[in-house]
Amino acid sequence: MASAFDYAPAPESRSVVDIAPSYGLFIDGEFVEAADGKVFKTVSPSTEEVLSEVAQAGSEDVDRAVKAARKAFEKWSALPGQERAKYLFRIARIIQERSRELAVLETLDNGKPIKETRDADLPLVAAHFFYYAGWADKLEHAGFGASPKPLGVAGQVIPWNFPLLMLAWKIAPALATGNTVVLKPAETTPLSALFFADVCRQAGLPRGVVNILPGYGDTGAALIAHPDVNKVAFTGSTAVGKEIARTVAGTRRKVTLELGGKGANIVFDDAPIDQAVEGIVNGIFFNQGQVCCAGSRLLVQESIQDELLDSLKRRLSTLRLGDPLDKNTDIGAINSAEQLSRITSLVEKGAAEGAEPWSPECELPSSGYWFAPTLFTNVTQAHTIARDEIFGPVLSVLTFRTPDEAVAKANNTQYGLSAGIWTEKGSRILAVANKLRAGVVWSNTFNKFDPTSPFGGYKESGFGREGGRHGLEAYLDV
């Protein structure tokens, strides 16, 4: 695309990170092969290049890791909080020191732009460990009783959209509260979690406190069903979340679920249009829209629809899609061939049902998994693309006339994770925010995260909160 906005390539060097040709499972402080010797390959979504071969954990490995975590739990939970705190502070510092390596690694394995891993993911990852480090020796002041106790072994299953950030959200509060963990990263993005094992080694973390088991869904299912796991934490799809809720039924296992979303981004006629456009773009095209709290439904007041869409389309035309390692790239690769086909089929369905797709002129690289930023107009609430989570760079535009209608449409979903409000009128922000059934409401901003702030869903977006004081509760016997 030739335009005034052609930029010279500005690639981040990938030589800052060493990727081994193969990795084992991280159990009891050591890298080991899977019991049945199974391995799988992880590829770079932007090039389809094989990055490494990774051991694939089976149920025997799950059992071994849970035993290691159980054994480590005794000592870890008995450590004075201040000692646990210092381990977590160490981990936070090492992550800061090695954040360039980690950012490149994450971009290679996930396909998201280096701009995002470097400026959003990694600073937040370090911040989460810093935040929860400070809780480890203050738990009696957290409002959960005089001496809140850890639960034991936490089985944690995380998704591929924010591999390292989700690891931090799960591991930091678990360790701060005195639990030990067995974590399964997603099959398409295992590398940063395995790298994290090395961070634990450098920090001198006792063996068995953190165990990492790469694998597919069956590995996660085995971990969650393991009878000696006391706490289950999952981030991922609503369908899998429901399966997990059934699995833990009738047990004493505590569970938190962070699931899908279909966030409404509501733009009123008095909104600051330029800021709103930036917020809409950030809301749905951040991480190629592979974000559970993405603002995937744009609700725009009818009177400003044309003005807003013109502005939005103009802005989309300036987004740069391509090499994720290029520091100028806004839109990277879709994480996997499987996810790409899911997005493609939903988008085809949207068009078949009568919604009108639009994409900026956009050349897609010849190898790798790519999808051009897309917006749909002429969308009704009955359309599949207005109801199902697409988890890709696809925005559905709906309109409304009154604030009541906006709220009704925003809430007309099985999900309840996020929402956005754009208006200059403070009382309207508060009135609408009050009525939205969503766990996080961003007003005149979008996709802001902070370790001090509880995050989680209403309705079928799951239960429990991560982040903040609230995030401790999931890992305490309260």
Partner 1 sequence: MSDRLSVLKTYKLYVGGKFPRSESGRVYEVTDSKGKWLANAPQSSRKDARDAVVAARKAFGGWSGATAYNRGQVLYRVAEMLEGRKAQFVHEVADAEGLSKSRAAEQVEATIDRWVWYAGWTDKIAQVVGGGNPVAGPYFNLSSPEPTGVVAVLAPQESSFLGLVSVVAPVIATGNTAIVVASERSPLPALSLGEVLATSDVPGGVVNVLSGRTAEIAAPLASHQDVNAIDLAGADEVLAKDLEIAAADNLKRVLRPQPVDNWTATPGIDRLTAFLETKTVWHPTGSLGASGSSY
Binding positions for partner 1, 147-176, rule CB under 8 A: none
Alpha-helix residue ranges (DSSP H) falling in 98-190? 99-110, 114-116, 122-135, 163-176
Whether residue 292 lies in the annotated active site: yes
- From residue 122 to residue 141, the character string flagging contacts with partner 1 as x (rule: CB under 8 A) and all else as - is -----x--------------
Q: Which is nearer to partner 1, 176 or 438 (CB)?
A: 438
Q: Which of 187, 258, 389, 466 is catalytic?
A: 258
Quickly tell me which residue has 């009783």 as its tokens: 145
| Closest distance to partner 1 from the beta carbon of 466 (Å) | 11
Q: Which of 116, 187, 292, 460 is catalytic?
A: 292
Q: Which of 265, 290, 374, 443 binds partner 1 (CB under 8 A)?
A: 443
Please choose, from the candidates 185, 193, 41, 15, the residue with its C-alpha nearest in 3D space to the C-alpha of residue 104. 15
Binding positions for partner 1, 237-266, rule CB under 8 A: 238, 241-243, 245-246, 249-250, 252, 257, 259
| Closest distance to partner 1 from the beta carbon of 249 (Å) | 4
Q: Which is nearer to partner 1, 384 or 453 (CB)?
A: 453
Structure tokens at 298: 């744009």
SS3 of 229-289: the string is: CCEEEEECCHHHHHHHHHHHCCCCCEEEEECCCCCEEEECCCCCHHHHHHHHHHHHHHHHH
Q: Which of 286, 462, 472, 476 binds partner 1 (CB under 8 A)?
A: 462
Write out the H or E segment, with its range, that includes residue 193.
helix 191-203
Structure tokens at 153: 């072994």
Assess 441 for contact with partner 1 (CB under 8 A).
yes
| Closest distance to partner 1 from the beta carbon of 464 (Å) | 9
Please choose, from the candidates 172, 46, 166, the residue with its C-alpha nearest in 3D space to the C-alpha of residue 114. 46
Q: Which is nearer to partner 1, 69 or 407 (CB)?
A: 407
Q: Which of 222, 442, 472, 475 binds partner 1 (CB under 8 A)?
A: 442
Q: Which is nearer to partner 1, 360 or 454 (CB)?
A: 454
Q: How far apart are CA 209 and CA 225, in angstroms?
A: 20
Cα angle for residues 438, 444, 446 (degrees, 5° grid) = 55
- 288, 336 contact by CB (below 8 A): no
- Contact window for partner 1 (CB under 8 A) among 132-140, 158-166, 347-355, 453-461: 453-461
| Closest distance to partner 1 from the beta carbon of 426 (Å) | 9
| Closest distance to partner 1 from the beta carbon of 236 (Å) | 13
Strand partners, 199: none
CA 108 to chain centre: 17
- 55, 34 contact by CB (below 8 A): yes
- 416, 458 contact by CB (below 8 A): yes
Torsion of CA 230, 236, 239, 243, to 10 degrees: -10
| Closest distance to partner 1 from the beta carbon of 159 (Å) | 17
Assess 450 for contact with partner 1 (CB under 8 A).
yes
- 288, 117 contact by CB (below 8 A): no
Quickly tell me which residue has 């193969």 as its tokens: 22
- From residue 288 to residue 327, the character string flagging contacts with partner 1 as x (rule: CB under 8 A) and all else as - is ----------------------------------------
Assess 452 for contact with partner 1 (CB under 8 A).
yes
Please choose, from the candidates 415, 439, 319, the residue with its C-alpha nearest in 3D space to the C-alpha of residue 375. 319
Write out the H or E segment, with its range, that includes residue 32.
strand 30-32
Q: Which is nearer to partner 1, 195 or 422 (CB)?
A: 422
| Closest distance to partner 1 from the beta carbon of 3 (Å) | 31
Q: Which is nearer to partner 1, 324 or 457 (CB)?
A: 457
Assess 459 for contact with partner 1 (CB under 8 A).
yes
Q: Which is nearer to partner 1, 75 or 138 (CB)?
A: 138
Q: Give the C-alpha distances (Å, rounded to integers) separating 180 from 27, 154, 206.
A: 12, 6, 10
| Interface size with partner 1, residues (CB under 8 A) | 41
Helices (H) and strands (E) in the chain, counts: 16, 17
Assess 438 for contact with partner 1 (CB under 8 A).
yes
Q: How far apart are CA 397 and CA 394, in angstroms?
A: 10
- Contact window for partner 1 (CB under 8 A) among 108-116, 203-211, 372-380, 461-469: 461-469
Q: Which is nearer to partner 1, 311 or 453 (CB)?
A: 453
Q: Which of 26, 196, 234, 463 binds partner 1 (CB under 8 A)?
A: 463
* R_g of the chain computed on alpha carbons: 22
Strand partners, 211: 182
- 184, 62 contact by CB (below 8 A): no
- Contact window for partner 1 (CB under 8 A) among 26-34, 345-353, 404-412, 447-455: 447-455
Task: Return residues touching partner 1 (CB under 8 A).
Answer: 127, 143, 238, 241-243, 245-246, 249-250, 252, 257, 259, 414, 429, 433, 436, 438-445, 448, 450, 452-456, 458-460, 462-463, 465, 468, 470, 478
The catalytic site residues sit at 258, 292
